[in-house]
Amino acid sequence: MADSVSLIQEQYKKMLQSYIEEKNEQGLYHAQQFSKKVLENQISPEEVVSLHLEVVEEFYPDLPDGATDSFEFLLEVMMGYGLAYREHQSLRDKQRELEQEINVAASMQQTFLPKEIPGVDSMDIGVISVPASKMSGDYYHFVKDENGCIGLAIADIIGKGVPAALCMSMIKYAMDSLPEQRLQPGALLENLNRVVEQNVASNMFITMMYGSYDPRVHHFYYSGAGHEPGFYYDSAADNFEELYAKGLVLGIKRDTTFREYHKKVELGDFIVLLSDGVTECRTEHGFIERDEITSLIRKYKHLSAQEIVNNIFYELEKIQGFQLRDDFTLIILRRKV
């Protein structure tokens, strides 16, 4: 290391002497390239100033005291700058490490979401879920049983980043571990609530709506845990009503029970489940109204379920200047037979 520094000092001396004698742009270019070697060898700014002073004093032994004193002053300034710069570099390195960890967690988080939507002959299903940043606090889940019944969940984890991803993994595996109750909304939420209450920090909560659609009788059974109300569209009356399911947020109280509701789904009717990132879209005039969401759904209801959710996302993203402020998840299930 000492030999390397000596070589750098000698190279600097030659470069400076050449520039003083010739004063050309080539010398300035060499100086820029030299700065890379300085960084590679972890030479501090104050060491560069000290080196410069030594070389200048060698070239100009009769340098006025004022000029020498100015270099001493600059050296003190650079010592403070060097400390701040090294601290800045350390923070940048830590930030890069954190970003890499977040990228890994974000990739892992994607594996928790369904790779495909279960096929049901009588149902047209559309889903879109877009995070506002790399990590999402929204979660959705589909499962199909041996009778062709579809179970689906939509959840919002109050919290973001890596803790939300870890919480999401717990929710997924807890749901997967309850096969015998997975299509019974009230019982499933009660089991999940106990898991969340025992394993999640007191400052983290999860809202969820879970529903089960039975294509044999065309009934939709559902329960809610403090989640954003969805919508039910009655095609015959061309009317929307709120799909509200009263229930305490998961993780608040261990022995919470969840009421189960149900709807008879007629031909052409559809169910809309969503996260608050849909209903709390903000424009320059404030939050949009829920009526605006139903107006958009009505505008595109002639399309397939997937086309409906895609178009609604585009419209709401557009009015926010294509900058999501919250995670966006929208699910539509429409009876087609």
pLDDT at 42: 75
**Mean pLDDT, rounded, for 242-262:** 92
Domains assigned to the chain: 2-105 (1.10.1240.30), 114-335 (3.60.40.10)
For 79-96, what is the HEC assignment?
Answer: HHHHHHHHHHHHHHHHHH
Model confidence pLDDT, tens digit, residues 306-327: 999 999 999 999 988 888 888 9
According to DSSP, the residues that pair with 332 across neighbouring strands are 126, 272
pLDDT over 70 (residue 183): no
Q: Concatenate the DSSP letters of all residues of 140-203 into one string.
A: EEEEE-TTS-EEEEEEEEES-HHHHHHHHHHHHHHHHT-TTTTT-HHHHHHHHHHHHHHHS-TT
Three-state secondary-structure class, residue 137? coil
Helix axes 161-176, 185-199, angle to 10 degrees: 130
- Which of 57-61, 143-147, 167-171, 221-225 has maximum average pLDDT? 221-225
pLDDT tier for residue 179 given thresholds of 50, 70 and 90 = low
Q: How far is Cα 281 from Cα 305, in angstroms, rounded to an integer?
A: 21
Model confidence pLDDT, tens digit, residues 26-51: 877 777 787 777 777 777 777 888 88
Q: Which two tokens stand for residue 248?
A: 């305490």
For residues 251 and 193, the answer to whether their CB atoms sit within 8 Å is: yes
Query: For residue 116, which phi and psi values (nearest 5 degrees)?
Result: -150, 160
78-87, 168-177, 268-277 — which is least confidently predicted?
A: 78-87
For residues 155 and 138, the answer to whether their CB atoms sit within 8 Å is: yes
Model confidence pLDDT, tens digit, residues 63-81: 787 877 887 787 777 777 7
Give the predicted TM-score (pTM) of the model: 0.74
**Mean pLDDT, rounded, for 191-220:** 90
pLDDT over 80 (residue 2): no
Task: Identify the CA nearest to 235 among candidates 311, 151, 312, 124.
Answer: 124
Percent of the chain with pLDDT over 90: 38
